[in-house]
Amino acid sequence: MSAVDLIRGFPGKPSHPPLTDVSIGAYTAGVAMLVLGALDVEEGPMAHGALLAISAGLIVAAPTAITGLIDWLGIEKDTPARQLGFIHLLAMVTATVLFAATWLTQLDGYNDEVVKSTALVLGIVAELVLTAGGYLGGTLVFVYGIRVLKRRDARIADALTPGRAGHEATDSELALRERQPHT
């Protein structure tokens, strides 16, 4: 197994989705705290928590982006999935840049225990872009089956254990199987 394969994750257990869960959760919690703080709900603690949560999202952004890029490079060229993956990539990079701007803008608010208006606006815009990008990423998985191991016959123990569910079928292998007569 190469280093790239190790970073990608095991068949049926890709690395990218759990990393997205961490960053999306952290960013969303941070924006929720910015909104609550702006509404005068424990503004000081919310100003602190928002910056810390967004910090966690930004820390996880690099490994999330790397694993996503590796997955994208594995999608067959000149396909709708590859095109959509590129749009997803652009949306998520844009969201990350907006969250970094939110973080920089809120840094003074952390020290002053206030939610900065500019940080609030940037955070909400970043969250909207993040939501759109996440929707596109979900489409890649649930419509195009990217990084989905299509083994309906796997035993539960094998399905739950990384590396034991078998090799990941490519889209072309799946298309070939579907064209073969069923016996």
Q: Domain tally for the chain?
A: 1
Question: Which residue range(s) make up the domain with 83?
Answer: 3-148
Q: Please report whether residue 174 resides in a domain.
A: no
Tens-digit pLDDT string for the chain (183 aa): 688 877 888 777 888 999 999 999 999 999 999 999 999 999 999 999 999 999 999 999 999 999 999 999 999 999 999 999 999 999 999 999 999 999 999 999 999 999 999 999 999 999 999 999 999 999 999 898 888 877 777 778 877 787 777 644 445 544 544 555 554
Q: By C-alpha distance, which of 19, 88, 4 is closest to 58?
A: 19
Whether 16 maps to a domain, the answer reads yes
Is residue 44 assigned to a domain? yes
Q: Cβ distance 123 to 46 under 8 Å?
A: no
Question: Quick check: is 162 in a domain?
Answer: no
How far is it between the farthest Cα atoms of the chain? 71
